[in-house]
Structure 1
Amino acid sequence: MKKSVLLIASSLLVATSFAQKKELKEIKKAIEKDNFSEAERLLESNKRVALSTKKSTAEYYYLKGELGIKKALAGKNVATSLKEASEALAEARKIEKKTPAELESLTANVARLAADKGQEYYQKNDFKNAAIAFEQVYRFSPKDTLFLYNAAEYATQAKENEMALQFFLELKDLKYDGAETLYTAKNKETGLVEKSVDKNTRDMKMKTGNYTNPSQEKVPSKKGEIIRKIAYLYVEQGNKEEALKAFAFARKNYPKDPELIIQEANVHYQLGDHAKFESLMREAADLQPENPYVQYNIGVMSLQQGKPAEARKFFQKTLKLAPDNADAALNYAFTYTEEANGLVDQMNALGNTAEDIKRYNELKDNKDNLFRLAAESLNEYVKNNAKNPNKEVLENLKNIYLAINDIENYKRIKNILDKK
């Protein structure tokens, strides 16, 4: 009785194996004939049987990968087909590391296609599909990690933050540095400068006669930038805890990177920790004193803490570095008008005695002087940006002149506004 059970089981295995081979051959035949819809139908209908053994599972995924490659090469839903192919081949390699010889040459072709398509999508500002295509270059040719980095960058531009984060985290795990020499040549047909990590590849392009202007460029390390992007993407997700962990890791490796410090400061600001924000901004200012963004933000923090005189210094520095910064000009003037408005409260609290009237006149003179200082600072901004004066600056300046009853200058500024 046991023998017959074993015999039946053995027969079933042989039959299943035979069926697997037969069906896989049919799929292969459909792919070779470019009958993609039939190949897709057969892959789907035979999936359960094909995945029943380790060997046939590898064959099944290799065939699925080959179908995706062929579809991509034929121009059928290229971005999607490339992704399907790389994912299928990745599944196959988990089981059987050695890629079939016929697929090796196809893989090289499709990597080139993915690179071309990625560039094409990029030129059309289709950053999402550019990211998908460049990711596939890396999947088909893992030595080309630059393409994974490009995929992460374009995913960020497309606001595909989850995709971008996945790519940047993978680059971090790969310890991708990005510091390298790129070999460039200009494509005569497209006019685009194409970059290769390999000098021989560039030289082969030059030999075709289709390229000009061979050159090379040094690319600095991207490690710090990758960590910054990871932290930024966590912030975008609202995952500030992971963002701060990413910054802690980055600061350990790049303690003197001012851009990193600024980004971390911004996270603390979003968390409501203004003291930490200011502390980090001051640290960044020491490292990068010529950065107007840093100077401006320290000024804003000082203003919020009720230190107008200190804020003024930082807004002055900002305007010296960036004369067109309207926000710095407005806040600089605000330090004076806010102080002047504080004197108005004191003036209104006085009585009618001779001493009160004397004090009132003193405070009024001080108030008007502060308004004049505010007007001078905004006038300086208008003078430095005469070709394109900021409307908000002009409105504030007009109101200040009205407040101090300087009608001549009020009309002058109103006239400029009316022409805008």
Structure 2
Amino acid sequence: MKTRILITGLAFVSAISFGQKKEIKKAEKAIKSNEYNEALTYLNEAEPMLGTADNDVKAQFYAAKGEALLGSGATDFNKLKGAAEAFGQALELDPKMETQLAVPLQNLRAALINGAIKDQNAGQYEMATEKLYASYLVSKDPSDLYFAASNAVNGKNYENALKYYQMALDAGYTGETEEFVATRKETGEVEAFDNENLRNIALKSGEFIKPEKRVTESRKGEILRNMTLIYIEQGNNEKATALMKAARAENPNDIYLMRADADMSYKMGNVARYNELMNQIVASDPNNPEIYFNLGVGSAEIGKKEKAVEYYEKALELNPNYEAALINIAVLKLSGEDKLVEEMNSLGNSRADNQKYDELKQQRKEIYIETMPYLEKALQLNPNNPEVVRTLMNIYGQLAEDAKYKEMKAKLETLEKQ
């Protein structure tokens, strides 16, 4: 009697196993026909029976689930995240499936990264961070962690920023990559190619000469700088100091780190060390406009606006066509406008108030007149920058320069239609 029960039980398990495989096969067939929702229906029917399946069947199930979720939700983050988790389970159960899943994994990563770029451009930094971290779980590429951390910084989620930066460093990430470059004969400009083969084809065309291989600048200094500044922001000066000390010991001549060390010193009230480090940075390459531009950015970040303008002006001295320096000077000069407007709006109607109003109005006008040449030069360099056009339009409007205002207004409307 016991034997008969055992045989019946085995037959029952076999029937369940057969049912699982049948539903998974149906799902796989539906996936090949791009019927992803139909595939998910079959997989939902198979899932309750999955507990009795062997690892091969489970891996097959999760691989199909990942593909079905990916196919049905190219712009749905929850489905993309579910696809990433399913693919991860499939590979954990059967690592040999990596070859079979190579294309779906590549497509999933592309969908996540493209979605993250759109979110980042829209200022949706939290969602961009999540998508990039999900991409890392799929790709194991630490560059995804770096970009996830950068978005977390922009979104002021400093805990996640520190976490992802540290994970990237632990994975040995530096951001250095090999580039295949060549010089264009006609212009003398050095151009980079996606790979060596494309570079070699360009050389054969005769348009390029001087093939070279170079390594892009490391991002490690930037990562350590950002981590240090986050610790300072959190009031954790001890961690910030320890991290900076270790980072500088490893890369004593890294300009990013020297700047971070200077910023940290200033925020901690050590002005003497700040000045010493700033002088060292300038001395490292006194004719490099990039150095002065970066010093301008750093000075602006810690509230030293006048010093920032000095550095930007020096960058323009070395490179008069430095568009970013022109724009940043304009931004700094216009940054005092809000305070003037606020004070103007707070005044009453007394004689003294009216006199004060006129004084403030004149100060505002002087800011506009002082800022205008920088923006006009920036517009000459890049006629299609809508923000520069919009700002100039507003300035011309305030200064009652009607012809120029109308010109900028028409130009802005054209740019916004493109």
TM-score by length of 1: 0.53
Quick check: 1:90 aligned with 2:88? yes
CA deviations 1:178-213 (Å, max 9, x no partner) are 22234599xxxxxxxx98753347889x9xxxxx9x
Secondary structure of the residue aligned to 1:221 is coil
8 Å contact from structure 2 (residues 179, 213) kept in 1: yes
Aligned residue number for residue 173 of structure 2: 176
Aligned residue number for residue 58 of structure 1: 59
How far residue 175 of structure 1 moved from its aligned partner, in angstroms, is 0.6
Q: What percentage of aligned pairs have identical amino acids?
A: 26
CA deviations 1:138-172 (Å, max 9, x no partner) are 55555x65455444434443545455444323321
Aligned residue number for residue 378 of structure 1: none
Aligned residue number for residue 20 of structure 2: 20
8 Å contact from structure 2 (residues 55, 93) kept in 1: yes
Q: Quote the Cα distance in structure 2 between the aligned partners of 1:100 and 1:294.
A: 45
CA deviations 1:281-338 (Å, max 9, x no partner) are 25523522575688899999xxxxxxxxxxxxxx9988865679xxxxxxxxxxxxxx
Q: Unmatched 5+ residue regions in structure 1?
A: 186-193, 207-211, 301-314, 325-383, 396-409
Q: Quote the Cα distance in structure 2 between the aligned partners of 1:44 and 1:147.
A: 32
Which residue identity is paired with 1:252?
A
Q: Quote the Cα distance in structure 2 between the aligned partners of 1:81 and 1:323.
A: 50
Correspondence 1:338-349 to 2 at 5 A? none
Q: Unmatched 5+ residue regions in structure 2?
A: 183-190, 203-207, 283-291, 315-328, 341-355, 367-418
Aligned residue number for residue 69 of structure 1: 70
Aligned residue number for residue 337 of structure 1: none
Q: Quote the Cα distance in structure 2 between the aligned partners of 1:244 and 1:9.
A: 67
Q: Quote the Cα distance in structure 2 between the aligned partners of 1:221 and 1:110.
A: 28
8 Å contact from structure 1 (residues 152, 167) kept in 2: yes
Correspondence 1:144-223 to 2 at 5 A? 145-159=142-156, 161=158, 163-182=160-179, 198-200=195-197, 218-223=215-220
Secondary structure of the residue aligned to 2:97 is coil
How far residue 264 of structure 1 moved from its aligned partner, in angstroms, is 5.3
Quick check: 1:281 aligned with 2:274? yes
8 Å contact from structure 1 (residues 149, 168) kept in 2: yes
8 Å contact from structure 2 (residues 265, 271) kept in 1: no
8 Å contact from structure 1 (residues 86, 139) kept in 2: yes
CA RMSD of aligned residues (A): 5.3
8 Å contact from structure 1 (residues 172, 227) kept in 2: no
Q: Quote the Cα distance in structure 2 between the aligned partners of 1:414 and 1:117.
A: 46
Q: Quote the Cα distance in structure 1 between the aligned partners of 2:153 and 2:167.
A: 15
TM-score by length of 2: 0.53
Quick check: 1:229 aligned with 2:226? yes
Correspondence 1:14-413 to 2 at 5 A? 14-44=14-44, 46-52=46-52, 53-72=54-73, 76-77=74-75, 79-99=77-97, 102-112=100-110, 141-142=139-140, 145-159=142-156, 161=158, 163-182=160-179, 198-200=195-197, 218-234=215-231, 243-257=240-254, 259-260=256-257, 263=260, 274=268, 277-278=270-271, 280-289=273-282, 291=295, 321=311
8 Å contact from structure 1 (residues 261, 280) kept in 2: no
Which residue identity is paired with 1:70?
G
Alpha-carbon spacing, 1:284–1:200, altered in 2? closer, same or farther (3 Å): same
Alpha-carbon spacing, 1:3–1:104, altered in 2? closer, same or farther (3 Å): same
Which residue identity is paired with 1:89?
F
Alpha-carbon spacing, 1:146–1:215, altered in 2? closer, same or farther (3 Å): farther
